[in-house]
Structure 1
């Protein structure tokens, strides 16, 4: 199992219907998952009704989430440290944005896409020019 083979089916399901018109920003939110032997991180996708690259709280204005809002990502895919997880997801999501399969569907109507840990700093993955 790879990060791509885990994220792709989830993204495919999340994007099977067009985003609601109110969505102008997308945020991939990371959090710590279950503790124990199968410890993991979780990733969720939400849509927001505003986007402002200068305001780190823009991703708090959630108006949409896919039916399967969140999936778990085992440490074997992300590493054990939050910095490793963030770096792995940053790379994987940039790769997804660069594909014809996901890029147009993620960017068609939004002004920006972010990634970060809940209650942490948000990294900008993509922003519409102009």
Structure 2
């Protein structure tokens, strides 16, 4: 899975930088890109409330302009398929990624399109 290797390299590059203390949750914000892509942006929030998804709007830490893009293809054309596919990439990283422990040091890890619901993939 070539996308996993590229995704893992992108995430390693972000997580090997100095991450501020006090992050309560990470979220993988997803966007439908203009060039037939799904774009992924990582944020770390200093607040977390599972009943109020606004916690993911507080980017105490952010990958800024460093966005990872996955080209849409036949099997990941619709947003639901894109979400499922990217969720699989994140879950694999949480199992075997070089800096998965940094993500797992937070109370929760979520994923979701910026204008939609957040799925919680990990709880400490």
Conservation of the 8 A alpha-carbon contact between 2:111 and 2:121: yes
Tell me the SS of whatever aligns to 1:11: helix
After the TM superposition, which segments of 4 or more aligned residues of structure 1 sit over 2 Å from their partners? 66-69
Does structure 1 residue 10 correspond to structure 2 residue 10? Answer: yes
Aligned length, in residue pairs:
124
Question: What is the RMSD of the two structures over their aligned residues, measured on CA atoms?
Answer: 1.9
Q: 1:77 to 1:20 in 2, by over 3 A?
A: farther
| Correspondent of 1:85 among 68, 82, 85 | 82
Structure with the bigger percentage of helix:
2
Structure 1 unaligned blocks of 5 or more: none
SS in 2 for 1:98: helix
Deviations 1:55-101 (A, max 9, x none): 22211111111355312110139711100000001111111101152
Per the normalisation by structure 2, the TM-score is: 0.89
Give unpaired runs (5+ residues) of structure 2: none
* Cα distance between partner residues in 2 of 1:103 and 1:16: 11
Aligned residue among 47, 53, 56 for 2:53: 56
Of the structure 1 ranges 115-124 and 54-63, higher mean CA displacement relative to structure 2 is found in 54-63
